[in-house]
Amino acid sequence: MTSTQKFVAAYLPPGFADWEGSVLLPILAALGFQVRYVSDDGGVRMSLGGLRVQPDLSVADLASKPPDVLILIGSESWLTLPIETPILQVTRLMLEQQKPAGAICSATVALAKAGLLRGRKYTSNGQAFLEHFAPGAANPANYVSRLAVREVLEMLGLMSDSRRTNWTARCAAGELPTADLFME
């Protein structure tokens, strides 16, 4: 990894939603980010769609090699995850160090239950979704109704005004934004 190449860790929980990283992670890889996949023990993960992925790292590896960016991919397993798990401890450290940590879909439920959304702006599947699965755990006034992928790209400083306009136009036209949007 070069000094300018940022390390992105994408955590795959059991039964991860295979489509949830499929826009963001290829864009980051094409832009030169070092994208690595993580599971609790570094073992194979099976997605909801039956995709088998051999992660590069375990959560314990993140202690010795902390990522610059952490992405938590959604899964129904987040809905019942205990709040003191190693991946949430890593997430807490990332947030304390002001490093970007993006939670997609139901991963926001685990962050809310662990108190990691307090005092922060956040997005989710909808405020009602979050309130249903984590009642009272997140301040509705901090909810932002935007796409998580765009939020992560914003956090990384990759969205100029022209890119934001092009992103919105592509999404409105039913097109998936791709890395070419960022090649200027």
CATH at 144: 3.40.50.880
Instruction: Report residue 1 as tokens.
Output: 């990894």
Instruction: Give the residue among 118, 136, 115, 114 at the shortest CA–CA distance from 127.
Output: 136
| 23, part of any domain | yes
The answer to whether position 175 is within a domain reads no
165 assigned to some structural domain: no
Residue 181 is assigned to a structural domain of this protein = no
What per-residue confidence (pLDDT) applies to 184?
63
- The pLDDT of residue 67 is 96
List of residues 6+ apart from 141 with CB closer than 8 A: none
pLDDT (0 to 100) of residue 4: 64
Q: Return the pLDDT at 167.
A: 85
Report how far residue 23's alpha carbon sits from residue 177's, in angstroms, rounded to the nearest whole number.
Answer: 7
Within a domain: 88: yes
Q: How far apart are CA 31 and CA 123, in angstroms?
A: 24
The answer to whether the predicted template modeling score (pTM) of the entire model surpasses 0.85 is: yes
Residue 169 lies in a domain: no
Distance (Å, rounded) from C-alpha 137 to C-alpha 131? 7
Q: What's the pLDDT score for residue 77?
A: 95
H helical segments located in 37-106 = 61-64, 86-96
Mean pLDDT (10-residue bins), the chain, 184 residues: 75 95 90 95 97 97 92 94 92 93 92 92 87 90 83 85 86 85 76
pLDDT at 7: 95
Question: CA–CA separation, 180 vs 160, rounded Å?
Answer: 14
- pLDDT at residue number 115: 94
pLDDT at 176: 81
Does 1 fall in a domain?
Answer: no
The type of residue at 146 is R
| Domain assignment present for 56 | yes
Given a contact cutoff of 8 angstroms between Cβ atoms, the answer to whether 48 and 19 are in contact is: no
Backbone angles phi, psi at 134, to 5 degrees: -140, 65
Element (H, E) at 70: strand 69-72
In which domain, by residue range, is 32 found? 7-159
State the total domains in the chain.
Answer: 1
Q: DSSP 3-state assignment of 106?
A: coil
| Placement of tokens 């926001």 in the chain | 108
